[in-house]
Amino acid sequence: MSASTQANSLHRQRQWALYGSYAALAVFVIIFLVPPFYTIITSLKSSAEISAQDGSPWMVKNPSLENFWYLITYSNFQTYYLNSVMITAVTVVVSMVISVLAAFSLSRMGFWGSGVLSTVVFLTYLVPPSLLFIPLFQIVGSLGLINSVWCLILLYPTLAVPFCTWIMIGYFSSIPKELDEAALIDGANYIQILTKIFIPVAMPGIIAATIFAFTVAWGAFLYPLAYLYTSNQMVLTVGIISDLIRGDVFQWGKIMAACLLASLPPIVIYACLMDYYVAGLTAGATKG
């Protein structure tokens, strides 16, 4: 009798702990989602409604899509979007090729100094972009690439490759050695082992690394701000700021709509592939 009441109260305690966790999580979620919510609200307001400045800023009286329509038909914004897509796509492809080849070599084949190189790769990941942007400004300038999207294509891989290589080394190392030994006996060469065995088996890692490279290239702000200055070369992160803020005139409705449109690709990608990204991120860290 007493045992069952004890079990009952324990059960009830657990239930309350569970409800408490949900309540606390809900509070956090609400706080975390305030800025995105406010972005959406503002993006639906007309310029007149924003400049009237009466009533609650958290509500929208006459929702309209005019800001979105303006941006979609605005040629500068189209250019920024296309530049962002192009630079990101090239960066992702280049970074992935470099890091998959290097990770395969470092995790399986090895050569004189490959251990040192692995350490260097990890330490390179720890170098923040803001540490070297001034010498890189001079280097990019001497290459004649200031104010050209090509300087970003050249520089973005340095931000993505170290971590991608690091993740891929982890995934490749977890593939059993017997697999490539069997392939070698069957007469496969290293390139075949890489493309036929390693890449398919380590696909989750490749997806995680690709998402990382995408995130870095899509969201980078310092390099484009420092190296680009005309609107035909700009990308979304800097284009929105330099184009929609003219002097003291802030077109907040349009800025927020632009932020929303620019955040859409990362949000969609994370919504679909979050599990891979989280797994890759945590695997990369625990193997450090």
Question: Closest CB to other proteins among 39 and 231?
Answer: 39
Question: Closest CB to other proteins among 1 and 186?
Answer: 186
CB 200 to other proteins: min, Å: 17
Query: 154 near 224, Cβ under 8 Å?
Result: no
Identify the H or E element spanning 245.
strand 245-246
Query: 75 near 59, Cβ under 8 Å?
Result: no
CB 264 to other proteins: min, Å: 10
CB 276 to other proteins: min, Å: 13
Q: Token digits for 84?
A: 């962002």
CB 91 to other proteins: min, Å: 12
Question: Closest CB to other proteins among 46 and 124?
Answer: 124
Q: What angle do CA 103, 116, 161 make, to 5 degrees?
A: 40
CB 7 to other proteins: min, Å: 15
Contacts of 187 (CB under 8 A, 6+ apart): none
Contacts of 255 (CB under 8 A, 6+ apart): 240, 244, 245
CB 128 to other proteins: min, Å: 3
Question: Closest CB to other proteins among 154 and 213?
Answer: 154
CB 42 to other proteins: min, Å: 7
Q: Token digits for 66?
A: 């005019």
Question: Closest CB to other proteins among 35 and 144?
Answer: 35
Query: 160 near 91, Cβ under 8 Å?
Result: yes
Contacts of 283 (CB under 8 A, 6+ apart): 167, 170, 171, 205, 208
Q: Match 């709509």 to its residue by tokens.
A: 257
Question: Closest CB to other proteins among 121 and 202?
Answer: 121
CA dihedral 190, 195, 200, 206 (to 10 degrees): 100
Question: Closest CB to other proteins among 1 and 278?
Answer: 278
Q: Strand, helix or coil at 250?
A: strand
Give the integer Cα–Cα distance in Å for 100 and 198.
Answer: 10
CB 192 to other proteins: min, Å: 6
Q: How far is CA 228 from CA 1, 80, 148, 154, 223, in A?
A: 77, 12, 7, 14, 8
Question: Closest CB to other proteins among 74 and 137?
Answer: 137
